[in-house]
Amino acid sequence: MKIVIIGGEAAGMSAAAKAARTNPSADIIVYEASEIISFGACGLPYFVADEFQDPSYMAEFTPEQFAKRGIDVRTGHRVTKIDSVNKTLDVNSDEGTMTARYDRLMIATGAREIIPPIEGLRKEGVYSLRRMQDGIDLKAAIGNEACQHITVIGSGFIGLEVAEAMVHRGKKVRLIERASRLIPDAFDSEISKHFMTELRQAGVEVLTDEQVISVIGDQSVEGIITDKGEYQTDLVLVCTGVKPNTDFLLETGIEMLANGAIRIDQHGKTSLNDVWAAGDCASIPNAISGKDSYIPLATGANKLGRLVGEAMARSSASGQHQQISPFTGSLGTSCIRLLGLEAGRTGLSEREAVTAGLR
Ligand SMILES: Cc1cc2nc3c(=O)[nH]c(=O)nc-3n(C[C@H](O)[C@H](O)[C@H](O)COP(=O)(O)OP(=O)(O)OC[C@H]3O[C@@H](n4cnc5c(N)ncnc54)[C@H](O)[C@@H]3O)c2cc1C
């Protein structure tokens, strides 16, 4: 049985390891577009804050270590097309394009940052934080003494963690959020107020209800213009959310949510025959609302990844899910440390409960 996995990070490598344990005779291949596997992006804000110095700490395993477990990991290989009828995929690498065959396929291509409609985002001094190289580049940039004033756009988990990192690095920090309060997608307004107080006490300039329109400067960043004013800054960090890496699947007709996340069932199965998905590229069943939700966190990616690995390795030719317990759903549990404050959530926020028609 040939199991192919696209994407070699949290979801993909959890699936590969579990599939190898479940069915040691399966032929398992992972295609990863980048050169790094098993990368935990969760460490990036702490690397940038200089809480540790070696970026390789963020990559748990190497392809060689997986090879010893019988898993063939091909980095620098990007899948560009899937033919789910003939069970083949097109793979691009330095050696050209080849067509590979699969019996069971998992899509674990994750997500990429949303680029908001702000003019001038290509200027030198504009950063985002997703890949290891993003963290290395950002850390080098803030290591320059001339880089003193940082503007963070977006107050989700990553925006807040990065704002904290910049405070720890002794920078002057401005955080801009277009909503009327901080981290509105994850926490209720009562908690947002605590985040606001904590940041302001640390000297962070927090601007809500304000939208960035353009980044100004000749070649590199000198400032920003918002719908309310103009501010000087040395560096801009864009933390405005993520979008699933699923554009290459559009022709397959695979079912997706409105944001492009692949719709999966409680076994991680997609609408295509013998194709599974998990992680930031996919939906996740919500334990409370019972609906398909999008919760791009490593916790869900790892759990669903393991489940998919087992399902692919055990699944019979007739498509039966042999003896595998279904995933009962995510509670959307997450937590954050922001300076001296720690906050956690589980279940639905008030806003999510209203949207789900439960309140
Ligand atoms: C700064 C930051 C902090 C975070 N902190 C936390 C945290 O504290 N807790 C938490 O739970 N989560 C956190 N997350 C989220 C967590 O990193 C993601 O949920 C997790 O990485 C998702 O894993 P994944 O395997 O689904 O996707 P990804 O990690 O995005 O990996 C997908 C891989 O697929 C590859 N790929 C994409 N397209 C193709 C293709 N066509 N062919 C071949 N390969 C392809 C990509 O190169 C990539 O390596 C954080 C994320 C960031 C950016």
Give residue-wise pLDDT tens across range 199-256.
999 999 999 999 999 999 999 999 999 999 999 999 999 999 999 999 999 999 999 9
- Per-residue pLDDT for 162 more than 80? yes
Residue 302 pLDDT level (bands cut at 50, 70, 90): very high
What is the whole-number distance in angstroms between the Cα of residue 110 and the centre of ligand 1? 5
- Percent of the chain whose predicted confidence (pLDDT) is above 90: 94
- Per-residue pLDDT for 319 more than 60? no
Q: Using the Cα atoms of residue 74, residue 77, residue 81 and residue 86 in order, give the sign of their dihedral.
A: negative
CA–CA–CA angle 285, 288, 290 (5° rounding): 45
What is the whole-number distance in angstroms between the Cα of residue 236 and the centre of ligand 1? 22
pLDDT at residue number 317: 46
What is the whole-number distance in angstroms between the Cα of residue 216 and the centre of ligand 1? 31
Q: Return the half-sphere exposure (C-beta side, CA atoms, 13 A cut-off) of residue 301.
A: 25
Among protein residues, the one with the nearest Cα to ligand 1's atom 3 is 42
What is the whole-number distance in angstroms between the Cα of residue 297 and the centre of ligand 1? 8
Tens digits of per-residue pLDDT, 90-139? 999 999 999 999 999 999 999 999 999 999 999 999 999 999 999 999 99
Nearest to 10 by CA among 206, 278, 222: 278
Q: Which helix (H) or strand (E) holds 276?
A: strand 275-277
Residue 42 catalytic?
Answer: yes
| Mean per-residue pLDDT, 264-280 | 97
CATH match for 2-112+244-328 among 3.20.20.70, 2.30.30.90, 3.40.50.720, 3.50.50.60? 3.50.50.60
Cα–Cα distance, 152 to 117 (Å, whole number): 16
One-letter identity of residue 258 = A
Q: CATH second-level architecture of 115-240?
A: 3-Layer(bba) Sandwich (3.50)
- Per-residue pLDDT for 339 more than 60? yes
Residue 325 pLDDT level (bands cut at 50, 70, 90): confident
| Mean per-residue pLDDT, 62-80 | 97
- By DSSP bridging, strand 71-75 and strand 126-127 are unpaired
- By DSSP bridging, strand 96-101 and strand 104-107 are unpaired
As a whole number, the mean pLDDT across the chain is 95
Q: Which helix (H) or strand (E) holds 335?
A: strand 334-338
The preferred substitution site among 5, 29, 32 for testing ligand 1, maximizing ligand atoms within 8 Å of CB, is: 32
Among protein residues, the one with the nearest Cα to ligand 1's atom 41 is 79
- Per-residue pLDDT for 280 more than 50? yes
Cα–Cα distance, 50 to 142 (Å, whole number): 11
- Percent of the chain whose predicted confidence (pLDDT) is above 70: 98
The CA-based dihedral angle spanning residues 262, 263, 267, 269, taken in that order and rounded to the nearest 10 degrees? -60
Rounded to the nearest 5°, which phi and psi values hold at 295? -130, 85
pLDDT at residue number 316: 56
Every domain of the chain with CATH number 3.50.50.60 lies at 2-112+244-328, 115-240
Give the pair of three-digit tokens for residue 263.
């719709």
Q: Which helix (H) or strand (E) holds 163?
A: helix 157-168
Nearest to 280 by CA among 75, 2, 6, 20: 6
pLDDT at residue number 322: 59
Cα–Cα distance, 38 to 47 (Å, whole number): 16
- Per-residue pLDDT for 38 more than 60? yes
Rounded to the nearest 5°, which phi and psi values hold at 60? -65, -45
Among protein residues, the one with the nearest Cα to ligand 1's atom 33 is 7
pLDDT at residue number 321: 53
Atom of ligand 1 nearest to the CA of 282: 26
pLDDT at residue number 359: 75
Among protein residues, the one with the nearest Cα to ligand 1's atom 23 is 10
Cα–Cα distance, 44 to 30 (Å, whole number): 24
